[in-house]
């Protein structure tokens, strides 16, 4: 199976990893829609919402709450959109949750700058 997110989990593709544990990985989107665009994925391959284990999904949502607060504190967006695409809208067929900050004014930082702000203290 050829899956970009599985390659990120295995380490064969690098990422700006903000957090990981035995179940999940949190990293910055390499092609962000906006500054601070963060992805949360399970380490095990689940193709989408319909087949993800409920325990893993619950853990993803718990970590999403932590990172939502971290993004709000460090980047001060006007809002954060939380998205899970399915079907044709899901470009990579590995479950992933987007945390997508939105700003009132243009706010651009490099991935490296965002990584340094959001990584664990």
Q: Encode the chain (121 residues) as per-residue pLDDT tens digits.
A: 689 999 999 999 999 999 999 999 999 999 999 999 999 999 999 999 999 999 999 999 999 999 999 999 999 999 999 999 988 888 889 999 999 999 998 889 999 999 999 997 5
* Cα torsion through 91, 17, 117, 82, rounded to 10: 30
For the entire predicted model, the pTM comes to: 0.94
Domain of residue 11 covers: 4-118
- The tally of domains found in the chain comes to 1
Could you tell me the CATH number of the domain that includes residue 50? 3.30.428.10
């Amino acid at each position: 199976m050829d899956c970009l997110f599985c390659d990120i989990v295995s380490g064969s593709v690098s990422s700006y990893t903000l957090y990981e544990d035995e179940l999940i990985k949190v990293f910055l989107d390499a092609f962000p829609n906006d500054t601070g665009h963060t992805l949360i994925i399970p380490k095990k391959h689940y193709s989408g919402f319909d087949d993800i284990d409920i325990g893993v999904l619950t853990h993803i949502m718990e970590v999403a709450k932590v990172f939502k607060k971290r993004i709000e504190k460090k980047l001060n967006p006007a809002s954060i959109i939380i998205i899970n695409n399915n079907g044709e809208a899901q470009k990579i067929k590995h479950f992933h949750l987007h945390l997508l900050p939105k700003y009132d004014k243009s706010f651009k930082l490099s991935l490296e700058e965002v990584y340094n702000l959001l990584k664990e203290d």
